Amino acid sequence: MNSVNTDLIKEMLNEKHYMKEMLSACVSCGMCAESCFYYKNTGERSAIPAYKVRKTVGKLFRKKGRVSRVELETMADMLWGHCAVCRQCYCPMGIDLSGMMSFGRAILRSQNIDRWSGPYEE
Amino acid sequence: MTCSNPLLLNTPMDFILQINSFLAGPCLYITLTLCAAGLIRKAVIIIEGRSRGLKFPVFQPDGEAGALSLAFTGRNPFFAVMSILFHISLIAAPLTARGHGILLDMSWGILPPRFNPIFTSSFTGLAMVTGIILLLRRIFLNHVRALSSWKDYLLIFVVLIPFVTGMMARGWIGNYEAVMFIHYLGAHILLVSIGWTRLGHFVFLSAALFVTSGFCSREAE
């Protein structure tokens, strides 16, 4: 199955449309990075929780679910390869970053993409 | 420099005077309505989202008190204090400005308490200094710079412009009417931005604190 069911993604995004508004409240203060063990150990930008959410769930909202399979597979790398969903990412605005990462994983699973489908596996 | 007939615009300064009286008068109603509409929209989305599973994660490094205090103090005490002072100054400076009180009295007949101008100047100065410190934090700290886009830098300037021009107007620095034009325009842009951009983040902060500090049921979190 190589096609992307954009209708299903749109439906899932509509169900959680408040997440888009929550993401828009991010003032890029960087406090999520200070509480992320993955970022503290690697120092990579791609490990900053807010960055990961913007590039995955945020991108899905921006593009209204119209993404290619390659884009989804790249997201899999961030959603599984750079996050343990340990729920330690602190946000003073109350943005549920790890909840959004979980939601991103659910969207990818709905497209038959899971932990081992991402390019990081190769 | 004033124009004898208000409808006769002889010079650019006459035009600025006309625009200034519009910005300080009728335009304020439009701006406040837009600001309120944006903030209400945010609040409605949060309330509606709660019924759709919106959660505010509870981060408890040191128990119940830790979650609340972390929201205010953060992990770096210096920048946390700067942030708190910045936000207090942003609210206190316009509230204590005598010019704003006069406008309020002229428009709605409400005469607010008269503060010594030293308060306004101090809060304005504090807003500018702490704002610059937070800007430097954004520029020099790797993880903050990595997250920042041009919008984040622009918003700091949008916030600071009314304060800088307010200070200039009070000190009679530059052409008064031109400075006031930028002051009014900057203030209107700021108020609308609070409603419709991330400058309205205090709505989310308040909601997060309301939920996570135990004011309402946290069973669903």
Per-residue pLDDT tens over the stretch A16-62: 989 998 999 999 999 899 888 889 899 899 899 999 999 999 999 99
Is residue B202 included in any domain, yes or no? Answer: yes
The structure tokens listed for B99 are 């010019």
End-to-end CA distance of chain A: 19
Is residue B16 included in any domain, yes or no? Answer: no
Interface test with A, best of B204, B205, B218 (most A CBs within 10 A): B204
Residue B26: other Cβ atoms inside 10 A:
11
**Which pLDDT value is given to residue A58?**
95
Which residue from B minimizes the CA distance to A22?
A: B204
Does B94 have pLDDT greater than 80?
yes
* Residues 6 or more apart in contact with residue A104 via CB below 8 angstroms: A53, A56, A57, A60, A75, A79
Q: What is the ipTM of this complex?
A: 0.84
Is residue B20 included in any domain, yes or no? Answer: no
Is residue B201 included in any domain, yes or no? Answer: yes
CA B40 to chain A, closest CA, distance in angstroms equals 13
Q: Which residue has the higher pLDDT, B108 or B168?
A: B168
- Cβ contact A33–B147 (<8 Å): yes
Which residue from A minimizes the CA distance to B195?
A: A25
Is residue B57 included in any domain, yes or no? Answer: no
d(C-alpha B54, C-alpha B48), whole Å: 9
Q: Which of the four pLDDT bands, split at 50, 70 and 90, describes residue B1? A: very low
Which residues are registered as beta bridge partners of B61? B63
Closest Cβ opposite residue B147 in set A19, A50, A99 = A50
The structure tokens listed for B9 are 């615009």
Please check whether residue B58 is in contact with residue B217, taking contact to mean a CB–CB distance below 8 angstroms.
no
**Which residues of B fall within a CB distance of 8 Å from A88?**
59
d(C-alpha A29, C-alpha A19), whole Å: 18
The structure tokens listed for A58 are 């945020």
**Which pLDDT value is given to residue B50?**
86
d(C-alpha A44, C-alpha B154), whole Å: 25
Q: Which residue has the higher pLDDT, B210 or A108?
A: A108
Is residue B9 included in any domain, yes or no? Answer: no
The structure tokens listed for B143 are 């993880």
Assign 3-class secondary structure to chain A.
CCCCCHHHHHHHHHHCCHHHHHHHCCCCCCHHHHCCHHHHHHCCHHHCHHHHHHHHHHHHHHCCCCCCHHHHHHHHHHHHHCCCCCCCCCCCCCCCHHHHHHHHHHHHHHCCCCHHHCHHHC
Is residue B210 included in any domain, yes or no? Answer: yes
Is residue B7 included in any domain, yes or no? Answer: no
Which residues are registered as beta bridge partners of B63? B61
Give the count of domains, chain B.
1
**Which pLDDT value is given to residue B183?**
95
Sign, CA torsion A59/A65/A71/A77: positive
Nearest to A19 by CA among B56, B18, B29: B56
| Mean pLDDT on B66-91 | 76
d(C-alpha B126, C-alpha B132), whole Å: 10
Does A83 have pLDDT greater than 60?
yes
Q: What is the pLDDT of residues B4-52, one digit of tens each?
A: 555 556 787 888 888 888 888 888 899 999 999 999 999 999 988 888 8
d(C-alpha B134, C-alpha B82), whole Å: 7
Instruction: Tell me the residues of A at the B interface, defined by beta carbons under 8 Å apart.
Output: 15-16, 18-19, 21-22, 24-31, 33-35, 39, 43, 45, 48, 50-51, 87-88, 90-99
How many cross-chain Cβ pairs, A to B, lie less than 8 Å apart? 96
d(C-alpha B209, C-alpha B156), whole Å: 24
Owning domain of residue B167: 71-221
Percent pLDDT > 90 in chain B is 49
The b-or-e profile of B3-15 (16+ CB within 10 A means b, else e) is: eeeeeeeeeebbe
Q: Which of the four pLDDT bands, split at 50, 70 and 90, describes residue A116? A: low
**B53: which DSSP letter?**
T
The CATH number given to whatever domain includes residue B214 is: 1.20.950.20
CA B101 to chain A, closest CA, distance in angstroms equals 31
